[in-house]
Chain A
Amino acid sequence: MSWSGFKKTMDRTATRVMMKAGQVERTNDRDFETELRRYRTMESAANKLQAEAKGYLDSLRAMTASQMRIAETIDAFYGDAGARDGVSRSYKQAVEDLDAETIKALDGPYRQCILDPINRFCNYFPDINECIKKRAHKQTTYDGLRSKVKKLTEKPDKDPAKLPAAEREADLAKAEYEKLNLQLTEEIPQIIDLRVPYLDPSFEALVKIQLRFCAEAYSRMAQVQQYLESDTRENYASGALDKRVEDVLEEIRGLSIAGTV
């Protein structure tokens, strides 16, 4: 921190202490306070939106990633038996395509229409917050100087030049404060008004991306079906597959190495 910055901080701290003690009056701007509260509400809502948008993409990726690994595992299990029916291969292919084409193809639009706009919108917040902070500083400075003027008026100093000087200083501080205050009270409602037109398109885009993902995922997966024997579906539906799994498990358990020794 620079020396002048440090000095300012000290001055402001002193003013704040005096304020607590009731020695200095605090400027109250109701309009600004209201807008600030509205802004905070919007800020938290937008930040949540940002987190969820990212979370959705992450879990989508996680899903296809584990699908791929499952496919690899199954392919490895099948080993030489895999060549027999080609199911594991085609499954692996379908899953890989899903990852490589569908997800990658959706990645761009997702970024462009959802992540980027939301991030950009959320990135305004640090700037706005900085502005709000600055306004608070200017306010404190102004309040301090004003009370100084008040004191000098009530109890004139020996040096008659002091009062005009203090007044000038207070006026300067007031102008600075009011400039920021005006800017914020004018523009915060605007950014709040903009939130719907700004973020609304992303919602629609999200729904569409989901739609497309579901459609493509299903059609890709459905293609694997042709490699399976025709009765597999029936077996699945009737629970025969589950029974086979159970039976084999039972057989494995029956092995002497598996603990029946």
Chain B
Amino acid sequence: MSWKGFTKGVVRAPQTVKARFNIGEHTKDPVYTDAERRFQDLERETKKLHDESQKYFDAINGMMKHQIEFSKACAEIYKPISGRPSDPESFLPEGHPEGIEACEEYERLVRELQESLAPELEMIESRIIKPADELMDIIKFIRKTAAKRDHKQLDYDRRRATLKKLEDKKEKTLKDEKAMYRAESEVEAATTDFNYFNDLLKTELPELFRLERDFIQPLFQSFYYMQLNVFYTLHEKMQDIDIGYFDLTKDIEEGFEAKGNEAREMAEQLTITHFKTTGGMRKGQSKYGNKPLAITAGSTPDKLAIEDGKTRPAGRRLTVGSTDAPPPYSPGQPISPSPMSAGLIAESGGVGRANSTGGNWGAAAKAKAAPPPPKPKPSRLSGAPAAETVTALYDYEAQAEGDLSFTTGEVIEIITRTQNENEWWQGRIGTRTGQFPGNYVRIN
């Protein structure tokens, strides 16, 4: 603050206090008060518009960044993991090459998307955020003018109060007369100043509001079309996704379920995944976990998923309800100087595209994968004499493929068993064979 500004501030201080506590007389201009209020709204809204469009811009960028990173992380997961990365021999083919391919393809697609969206996003930056920025600058200046008007009002009230006090004095000395004379001219000057700013704001603020509306309308329309273009590009590009790896005919949850719960169950069965809660022991099992721990099964769903990926029907385009021709720059237009229009023209050639009906998400569930083959469980070597039978003490329901379910009292013919009843035995009921926990039965 300049020295002059500071002294002014000090001189105005008493009047500011008076105004705050509503002491004495104050000028009130309802028209201006209302305009001021509207101006405040406008200030706030402009700021919001500016901030939010910036956020929007960032969010779209962030979305794509996360998409890319996600697919990278996925590829990382699919890669074979070796304990000795420096030794190429140690890489077992246990990874998931098809998955990696899909990841790479997907990543490439998203990158393409990012590139084709870049001009759109750049437009948001230059055509929306920048004008909003400029408007904010102007508004800041207007705010200053309004502050100046308030100051002038304070001055005006102050001078008037002084004059009034002098006028009210019963007996005026010569000094008072002089002071009054001075005060009168001061009031006059302050009135001119105040009226100038007050009137200026009163006439121009409504003008500003009108212009603001004019400003916001094309801005909003542009923004809308930019947004529409962004979504259009997103939609178009994503729809063209043709990675055989994904079965797009299925609904989200359905496809997810179809890809197998087995892995989840198997992981649940591992002891180390519940180490904290169980302390490394599993119920009904010996410490050394003799239940065949799905080693062989680990690769089964893997293979399934691959087969799944290959036998994909091709028709899987999404329908987009009621959309007519794509919205962006249409090819028929001779005037389209913006640089970003070229690519879109080429694309919007396929107007009919949106009408092509394809299988809806859930519609094509027909391609359901065959149930996984029962996974082989290692056969027990330690045998017991055959044709031995046991009686079930409890109900047992199969927990995994290859388990033998039975109800209490059923007689099971033993195929193989060990001496330890905490292990898993093999048995037969009628035609069904399978494994069951030895501690669920009593030997006959």
Contact = CB atoms under 8 A, between A and B. Distances in A.
A55 B56 contact: no
A193 B77 CA distance: 10
Given A207-B241, A236-B225, 8 more contacts: A62-B55, A78-B216, A121-B267, A195-B77, A200-B259, A237-B328, A255-B204, A258-B138
A250 to B, nearest CB: 10
Interface string B78-119: 100111100000100011100100110010000000000000
Interface of A: 33-38, 41-42, 45-46, 48-49, 52-53, 55-56, 58-60, 62-63, 66-67, 69-70, 73-74, 76-79, 81, 87-88, 91, 109, 112-113, 117, 120-121, 124, 126-128, 130-131, 134, 179-180, 182-184, 186-212, 214-215, 217-219, 221-225, 228, 232-239, 241-242, 244-246, 248-249, 251-253, 255-259, 261
A91 B287 CA distance: 64
B235 A218 contact: yes
A191 B318 contact: no
A211 B238 CA distance: 6
28 contacts: A37-B84, A38-B81, A52-B69, A58-B62, A59-B66, A62-B62, A66-B53, A69-B52, A77-B42, A109-B253, A179-B288, A186-B289, A196-B305, A204-B246, A204-B259, A207-B241, A221-B231, A225-B228, A228-B224, A237-B341, A238-B335, A244-B214, A248-B218, A249-B134, A249-B138, A252-B208, A256-B204, A257-B201
Interface residues of B, number: 129
A56 B327 contact: no
Given A113-B256, A128-B273, A194-B298, A252 B135 contact: yes
B48 A193 contact: no
Contacts of B324: 222
A157 B276 CA distance: 41
Contacts of A224: 224, 228
> Which of A189, A203, A242, A255 has most chain B Cβ within 10 Å?
A203
Contacts of A126: 276
Contacts of B62: 55, 58-59, 62
A201 B260 contact: yes
B437 interface: no
A198 B263 contact: yes
Given A131-B275, A131-B280, A183-B289, A74 B220 contact: yes
B96 A196 contact: yes
6 nearest CB pairs, A to B: A34-B83, A193-B298, A201-B259, A63-B59, A197-B263, A59-B62
B59 A217 contact: no
B342 interface: no
B164 to A, nearest CB: 31
A215 B165 CA distance: 75
